[in-house]
Amino acid sequence: MTEMACGYAGDRDDAMIAYLYDDGDPAARAGFEAHLAACARCRTEVDALRGVRRQLARWAPPEVNFTVESLTSGVGSDEAATSHQSPATGHRAWWHEIPAWAQVAAALLVLGVSAGVANLDVRYDGNGLSVRTGWATPAPVAARAAQNSEAAAPWRAELTALEQRLRGEIRAVPASAPAPVDVSVPARAAQSSDADLLRRVRALLDESEKRQQRELALRVGEVLRDVNAARQADLRTIDRNVNDMQNRLGVEVLKQRENLNMLMRVSQRQ
C-alpha cells in the first residue's frame, strides 16, 4: 500500500501532539488544523491517536480505601528522629474513631455541664416546668462563682443579673427560707417577676435547644456521609469481586465448551 505524502512545513509530530492535547500556541493550532483539512494522512493519524486516548481512558487504577491514620502514623513514627510535630495528631484521626452515639451523648453532656455551671436545675414533672437556681449557697461563694464565670459566655451576664434580682427578692420575703428558690411555685409578692423570670429562662432553654439541634444535625450529617462513603467503597469491592468470579467462571465455561466441541468432532469422525 502506498503511503500518502504529507507536506507539512514544520515539525509534524510536535504539531500533531500539541493539536491532539490542545496544549500549545493557538496560531500553530489553527495552522495545523488548516493542514489537516488538506492532508488525509495526518487526518487518519489524528483519528487513530484519538482512538488510543479513548482506550487509555478505560484504564483506571483499582479502588483503594486510604487510611490516612496509617499514612500519618507512618509520618508520626519518624517524628522522634526529625523532632518535627507529627500530623498524626490531626483531628481526623481521633474524630472518626468516635461512634455516632458517643458524639451525640457528648453533645448532650456539654449542654448538661453548661446548665450545671450556670447553677440551673431544670425539671419537668407533674407541676410543669420547674427551674431551681443553686443560689441558696452562701452569698460570697455564689458571688465569686459568678465573677469567675462572667467572662466565659454572654449568657453568664444575664444569669448574674437574674441572680442579683433574685437575691433582692429573697431579701424582700419575710420568711426567707434556706431552701432553693422554686420558680414554679407562685409567690404572691413576686408573681409578675416570676413570670418574667420564667419567660427569660424559657428563652435561654430555647436557645440551648436550638444550639443542640444544630449540633445534632451536624453530627448526623457527618455520620450519614461516612456511612455513605463506606457503602460506596463496599459496593465497589463487591462489584470487583463479582467481576473476577465471573471472569473465572467464563474461562471455565469456555474450556468446557471447547472440550465438548472436540468430543463432538471426534464422535462425528467415528
* Binding span for another protein by CB under 8 A among 10-18, 112-120, 181-189, 202-210: 10-18
Contact pattern for another protein over residues 15 through 54, marking x by CB under 8 A: -xxx-xx-xx-----------------------xx-xxxx
Smallest gap from Cβ 189 to another protein, in A, equals: 55
Query: Does 58 sit near another protein (CB under 8 A)?
Result: yes
Q: Vertex 210, ends 223 and 97: CA angle to 5°? A: 25
Q: What does DSSP say about strands 120-125 and 128-133: parallel, antiparallel, or unpaired?
A: antiparallel
DSSP string, 142-159: HHHHHHHHHTT-HHHHHH
**Cα distances (angstroms) measured from residue 114 to each of 71, 142, 251:** 38, 16, 67
**Cα distances (angstroms) measured from residue 213 to each of 95, 198, 208, 209, 217:** 20, 22, 9, 6, 6
> Among 34, 173, 253, 262, which residue sits at the site for another protein (rule: CB under 8 A)?
253
**Across the chain, how many H-helices and E-strands are there?**
10, 2
* Binding span for another protein by CB under 8 A among 28-36, 74-82, 105-113, 118-126: 74-82
Residues in binding contact with another protein, number by CB under 8 A = 56
Query: Does 82 sit near another protein (CB under 8 A)?
Result: yes
Say what angle helices 12-21 and 40-56 make with each other, to 10 degrees. 50
Query: Does 91 sit near another protein (CB under 8 A)?
Result: yes
Nearer to another protein, 22 or 125 (CB): 22
* Binding span for another protein by CB under 8 A among 31-39, 153-161, 212-220, 244-252: 244-252
* Binding span for another protein by CB under 8 A among 64-72, 136-144, 199-207, 222-230: 64-72
Query: Does 80 sit near another protein (CB under 8 A)?
Result: no
